[in-house]
Amino acid sequence: MYKLFPILLLFSGALHAQTILFEEHFTNGVAEIDWEPGWADSMGVGDSMQVDFMAGNPSGDGTVGFVENMLSGGMVGTAVAGMEDMTDYMVQGWIYVTPDWGDAARAEYKGLVARFSNEPGYSYYQFVADFNTLAEDGPKLRLRKYDGGSVVIHDFFAGEIPGGVPLEASWHHMGLRLEGNQFWCYWDFEELPGCPYEDDALIPLSQGKFGIYVFNFVRDDAVYCDDIFVTDEYYDPQVASPMTEMKPAAFLIEPSFPNPFRCSTTIPVTLNRAGELRLDIYSLGGQLVANLHQAMMSAGQHGFTWDGNTNQGYWAAQGIYLVQGTALGQSFVRRLVLVR
């Protein structure tokens, strides 16, 4: 089983900690969330997330996601996921960047998109690496907005990029956090200088999906990605990274299966020592739906089943729920999707 170094949620009480809304690890060569093309033709054909094998990837399991720019038109490829009504959140993950030492001053973007919407027209924010060394304004990280036209919010040049501009193709961790019209950008786990930056438009983009983005004006290209997390607020991304030197958590809720589910789902819980465990299901509004367990547990991995029923014995309505576990002084929250 893929070993996840989790986001630790240290708090007391119910549902005011960071919540993992989505996560993607491409475990066993399969995409774990539903990706769709950002752009598609009338037949629904467009570039979306695919899975490939790559030795030395961040998670160490050899499987990564990638998005090409071949089908969407305009040499742009975007795979998006999530919900149209997502507003304030943080998206982050590992991106394989490829500095260009070619002979053309062209933009080559690879990175993240957020608040992506195609209603009524395409609009989104993006944080991308553009490491074309021959570009007129030089290699950079770029925060920009597209809403019928491209607007640069801020460029981060070599002196502002931790570690400088990469000299060879390599994995780097990128993060974009959005709160209202303010934005924070992260590179290799460090907040970039001057954040937050603002979209000073009269009506900023307010909601939309997250995704992975590639743009290359002159040739077919692809962006590779790994270990993508989306949370409802800021967290230290190093806690979620298996490439950082840290000890595994004492308590962990691993991804439930199946998820989405119709009849029941199994929730794996691991404790590295014995202790009292409480496991609850909450609605997105913070109401307690079901208590699955509250008792001492031995060390090791345990499985708990939720059959979609409430504490009162009724079927819970279709929708998104949160499973919250508390044990050994730590709390952890994961997302469940119930379909009827």
- Quick one: average pLDDT of 160-185? 92
Q: What is the arithmetic mean of pLDDT over 280-305?
A: 90
Q: Is the pLDDT of residue 10 over 80?
A: no
Yes or no: is domain 20-240 CATH 3.40.50.720?
no
Distances (CA, A) of 141 to 35, 107, 157, 285, 325: 25, 11, 7, 37, 38
Distance CA 19, CA 9 (A): 9
User: Residue 339's pLDDT band (boundaries 50, 70, 90)?
Assistant: confident
Most confident of 26-35, 48-57, 293-302: 293-302
User: Residue 44 — very low, low, confident or very high, per pLDDT cuts 50/70/90?
Assistant: low
Range with the poorest average pLDDT among 67-81, 121-135, 150-164, 270-284: 67-81
Contact 46, 71 (CB under 8 A): yes
pLDDT bin (cut points 50, 70, 90) of residue 260 is: confident
Give the side-chain half-sphere CA count within 13 A for 292. Answer: 24
> Length of the chain, please?
340
- At residue 5, the pLDDT reads 34
236-255 average pLDDT score: 54
* Percent helix / strand / coil, the chain, rounded to 5: 5, 50, 50
Cα–Cα distance measured from residue 157 to residue 133, given in angstroms and rounded to the nearest whole number: 11
CB 22 within 8 A of CB 228: yes
Q: How far is CA 298 from CA 21, 194, 274, 314, in A?
A: 29, 48, 4, 31
How far, in Å, CA of 335 to CA of 173, rounded? 23
Q: How far apart are CA 9 and CA 333, in angstroms?
A: 8
With CA atoms as reference, report the closest residue to 161 among 184, 133, 138, 141: 141
Query: What was the pLDDT predicted at 312?
Result: 95
pLDDT tens digits along 295-335:
999 999 999 999 999 999 999 998 878 888 888 877 777 77
What is the pLDDT averaged over residues 226-231? 92
Q: Are 255 and 335 in contact (CB under 8 A)?
A: no
Assign 15 a pLDDT band (cuts: 50, 70, 90). very low
Q: CA–CA distance from 131 to each of 160, 162, 223 (Å)?
A: 14, 14, 13
Most confident of 67-81, 148-162, 253-267, 316-330: 148-162
pLDDT, residue 254, reads 81
Residue 156 has what pLDDT?
A: 97
With a cut of 60, say whether residue 212 has pLDDT above it: yes
231 near 89, Cβ under 8 Å? yes
At the top level of CATH, the class of 251-338 is mainly beta
43 Cβ contact partners less than 8 Å away, ≥ 6 residues apart: none
Closest CA to 48 of 195, 213, 178, 288: 213
**Please, are residues 104 and 218 in contact by the beta-carbon 8 Å criterion?**
yes
Which of 153, 157, 115 lies closest to 135 in space, CA to CA?
157
Can you give the pLDDT at residue 315?
A: 93
Mean local confidence (pLDDT), 19-42 = 83
Domain boundaries, the chain: 20-240, 251-338
pLDDT at 206 over 50: yes
